[in-house]
Structure 1
Amino acid sequence: MHVSDLLRIKGSSVVTVRPDDDVRALLALLAEHHIGAVVVSADGAAIDGIVSERDVARALNRQGAAVLSHEVSSIMTAEVRSCAPDTHLDELSQVMTEGRFRHVPVVMDGRMVGIVSIGDVVKSRMTELEVERDSLSSYIRTAST
């Protein structure tokens, strides 16, 4: 399965936050959309960075509650790994595991076209395994009769 297949199933909407929004606004977005990370983008299409709940937790630990009024750009990760729609999910899973990150924006022709989380990848793999199991069970039942 490829990233494009996954996006067809889950959708391609991406929640973004502006780099100059404050961390309090970021937290409101995370809560509103029940997500763990957002892409930081000044225009909603180009990727300026990514920021997650972990980034907020680390910043709170270092700087205290004052960080809530700081700009998102002060806590975001600026070097963002992205993938293409034709990336195989096995490859993406390996990249995410090795890089120890859980969200990857999907980019085509320099524009963001979706985002994939490690949860999306795991859910997809579990579905594949269930289909394989059901097929094998059916084959075994048919072969034994």
Structure 2
Amino acid sequence: MKTVAEIIRAKPQAAVYSVSPDTTVLDAMKMMAEKGVGALVVLDDKGRLAGIVSERDYARKVALLERPSFNVPISEIMTADVLTVSPRDTSQECMQLMTDRHLRHLPVLAEGELIGLLSIGDLVKHTIADQASLIQQLEQYIRGE
């Protein structure tokens, strides 16, 4: 079972995109579209994790409520009580957490410092690769190789 650290190291694009709490919702949505991501971490003025904002937050807290997005700060719609994982956690632990809590993104903290962002897509990709490797090993074993 791979660890979060191994998954993050293997990501072709490991950049973590962030905004500040006073960034407007519109600017954050533009950044998500430009970067092709579904969530941004929100960092305070000292670079510490203050929250996370996702397309789901936008849909539920802005679009469905017909709020304007050009002047609403991210701090009003972000999830401030963020669940995080450590580099030592396993992919299975992360998948269980994401499934139980209906999450798509998990910030990765090492000693309180943000070092990455893990998505459900990252975990699925690595699970598929692990299963393919296991199948190949079993086939080789069956053939006596």
Normalised by the length of structure 2, the TM-score is 0.92
Q: Summarize the alignment of residues 122-137 of structure 1 with structure 2, pairs less than 5 Å apart.
A: 122-137=124-139
Which of structure 1's runs of 4+ aligned residues deviate more than 6 A? none
Aligned residues: CA RMSD: 1.4
Question: Is 1:61 paired with 2:86?
Answer: no
Question: Which residue identity lines up with residue 9 of structure 1 in the other structure?
Answer: A
Residue 50 of structure 2 is aligned with which of 45, 48, 51?
Answer: 48
Question: Is 1:2 paired with 2:3?
Answer: yes
Identity of aligned residues (%): 36
Give the secondary-structure state (helix, strand or coil) at the position aligned to 1:78: coil
Aligned length: 142
Separation in 2 of the partners of 1:94 and 1:68?
36
- Greater fraction of residues in helix: 1
Residue ranges of structure 1 left out of the alignment (5+ in a row): none
Question: Which residue identity lines up with residue 18 of structure 2 in the other structure?
Answer: T
Q: Summarize the alignment of residues 64-143 of structure 1 with structure 2, pairs less than 5 Å apart.
A: 64=67, 66-142=68-144
Residue ranges of structure 2 left out of the alignment (5+ in a row): none
Question: Which residue identity lines up with residue 64 of structure 2 in the other structure?
Answer: N
| Cα contact 1:38–1:50 (8 A) shared by 2 | yes
| Cα contact 1:16–1:44 (8 A) shared by 2 | no
